[in-house]
Amino acid sequence: DVKVTQSSRYLVKRTGEKVFLECVQDMDHENMFWYRQDPGLGLRLIYFSYDVKMKEKGDIPEGYSVSREKKERFSLILESASTNQTSMYLCASSLASTGTGELFFGEGSRLTVL
Protein backbone atom coordinates (compact mmCIF):
# COMPACT_ATOMS: atom_id res chain seq x y z
CA ASP A 1 0.00 0.00 0.00
CA VAL A 2 1.43 3.39 -0.99
CA LYS A 3 2.27 5.61 1.89
CA VAL A 4 3.40 9.07 2.88
CA THR A 5 4.43 9.19 6.52
CA GLN A 6 4.85 12.31 8.59
CA SER A 7 6.94 11.88 11.68
CA SER A 8 4.72 13.67 14.19
CA ARG A 9 0.94 14.07 14.27
CA TYR A 10 1.00 16.67 17.03
CA LEU A 11 3.76 19.00 18.20
CA VAL A 12 3.86 21.81 20.75
CA LYS A 13 6.84 24.16 20.55
CA ARG A 14 7.86 27.46 22.07
CA THR A 15 8.47 30.69 20.18
CA GLY A 16 12.02 30.81 18.88
CA GLU A 17 12.57 27.05 18.85
CA LYS A 18 13.85 25.28 15.76
CA VAL A 19 11.29 22.80 14.46
CA PHE A 20 11.82 19.88 12.09
CA LEU A 21 8.90 18.21 10.33
CA GLU A 22 9.88 15.01 8.56
CA CYS A 23 8.13 13.32 5.67
CA VAL A 24 8.94 9.98 4.05
CA GLN A 25 7.30 8.37 1.02
CA ASP A 26 7.70 4.80 -0.18
CA MET A 27 6.41 5.26 -3.71
CA ASP A 28 9.66 6.34 -5.41
CA HIS A 29 8.00 9.66 -6.33
CA GLU A 30 10.15 12.43 -7.76
CA ASN A 31 8.00 15.31 -6.51
CA MET A 32 7.42 16.18 -2.88
CA PHE A 33 5.51 19.09 -1.37
CA TRP A 34 4.87 20.85 1.91
CA TYR A 35 1.52 22.59 2.30
CA ARG A 36 0.12 24.55 5.19
CA GLN A 37 -3.62 24.30 5.96
CA ASP A 38 -5.53 27.05 7.76
CA PRO A 39 -9.30 27.42 8.16
CA GLY A 40 -10.87 29.33 5.29
CA LEU A 41 -7.57 29.51 3.41
CA GLY A 42 -7.39 25.93 2.23
CA LEU A 43 -3.96 24.51 1.51
CA ARG A 44 -1.14 26.84 0.61
CA LEU A 45 2.13 25.63 -0.86
CA ILE A 46 5.25 26.39 1.19
CA TYR A 47 7.97 24.57 -0.78
CA PHE A 48 8.27 21.74 -3.21
CA SER A 49 11.04 19.58 -4.60
CA TYR A 50 11.18 17.79 -7.94
CA ASP A 51 14.47 15.98 -7.35
CA VAL A 52 17.04 15.24 -4.68
CA LYS A 53 18.71 18.43 -3.47
CA MET A 54 16.36 20.53 -5.63
CA LYS A 55 13.81 22.85 -4.05
CA GLU A 56 11.46 25.56 -5.23
CA LYS A 57 9.58 28.18 -3.25
CA GLY A 58 5.84 27.99 -3.18
CA ASP A 59 3.38 30.73 -2.30
CA ILE A 60 4.36 31.23 1.34
CA PRO A 61 8.03 30.27 1.90
CA GLU A 62 8.88 33.02 4.39
CA GLY A 63 10.02 31.64 7.72
CA TYR A 64 10.53 28.13 6.34
CA SER A 65 13.29 26.13 4.72
CA VAL A 66 13.43 22.58 3.37
CA SER A 67 15.89 19.79 2.85
CA ARG A 68 15.85 16.85 0.44
CA GLU A 69 18.98 14.77 0.78
CA LYS A 70 17.34 11.51 -0.26
CA LYS A 71 14.59 10.88 -2.77
CA GLU A 72 12.18 9.45 -0.22
CA ARG A 73 12.59 12.12 2.47
CA PHE A 74 11.56 15.80 2.49
CA SER A 75 12.00 17.86 5.63
CA LEU A 76 10.40 21.16 6.54
CA ILE A 77 12.37 23.39 8.91
CA LEU A 78 11.15 26.31 10.94
CA GLU A 79 14.37 28.06 11.93
CA SER A 80 12.73 30.12 14.67
CA ALA A 81 9.13 29.20 15.27
CA SER A 82 6.59 31.97 15.73
CA THR A 83 2.99 31.87 16.92
CA ASN A 84 1.70 32.65 13.42
CA GLN A 85 3.17 29.36 12.27
CA THR A 86 0.67 27.47 14.38
CA SER A 87 -1.07 25.40 11.74
CA MET A 88 -1.63 22.00 10.15
CA TYR A 89 1.23 20.96 7.88
CA LEU A 90 0.63 18.45 5.10
CA CYS A 91 3.29 16.64 3.13
CA ALA A 92 2.51 15.18 -0.29
CA SER A 93 4.25 13.42 -3.15
CA SER A 94 3.59 12.69 -6.81
CA LEU A 95 5.18 11.14 -9.84
CA ALA A 96 7.02 13.45 -12.21
CA SER A 97 4.98 12.25 -15.13
CA THR A 98 1.61 10.70 -14.71
CA GLY A 99 -1.81 10.83 -16.25
CA THR A 100 -3.36 13.02 -13.60
CA GLY A 101 -0.63 14.42 -11.38
CA GLU A 102 -2.52 13.21 -8.32
CA LEU A 103 -0.91 14.07 -5.01
CA PHE A 104 -0.64 11.50 -2.24
CA PHE A 105 -0.80 13.04 1.21
CA GLY A 106 0.45 12.18 4.65
CA GLU A 107 -1.83 12.40 7.67
CA GLY A 108 -0.67 15.87 8.62
CA SER A 109 1.29 17.39 11.48
CA ARG A 110 -0.56 19.79 13.72
CA LEU A 111 1.93 22.30 15.13
CA THR A 112 1.16 24.64 18.02
CA VAL A 113 3.66 27.38 18.79
CA LEU A 114 3.27 28.94 22.23
Partner 1 sequence: AQKITQTQPGMFVQEKEAVTLDCTYDTSDPSYGLFWYKQPSSGEMIFLIYQGSYDQQNATEGRYSLNFQKARKSANLVISASQLGDSAMYFCAMRESNNAGNMLTFGGGTRLMVKP
Q: Which residues here bind partner 1, judged by CB under 8 A?
A: 9, 31, 33, 35, 40-45, 48-50, 56, 58, 88, 90, 92, 94-96, 98, 100-108, 110
Residue closer to partner 1 (CB basis): 52 or 96: 96
Residue closer to partner 1 (CB basis): 59 or 79: 59
Residue closer to partner 1 (CB basis): 73 or 105: 105
**At closest approach, how far in Å is the CB of 42 from partner 1?**
4
Query: Do 47 and 34 contact (CB within 8 A), yes or no?
Result: yes
Nearest one of 70, 59, 73, 56 to 21, comparing CA atoms: 73
**At closest approach, how far in Å is the CB of 80 from partner 1?**
26
Residue closer to partner 1 (CB basis): 45 or 77: 45
**At closest approach, how far in Å is the CB of 45 from partner 1?**
6
Buried b (16+ CB within 10 A) or exposed e, 20-34: ebbbbbeeebbbbbb
Order of all β-strands in the sheet with 73-78: 4-6, 19-25, 73-78, 65-70
CB atoms within 10 A of CB 8: 14
**At closest approach, how far in Å is the CB of 16 from partner 1?**
27
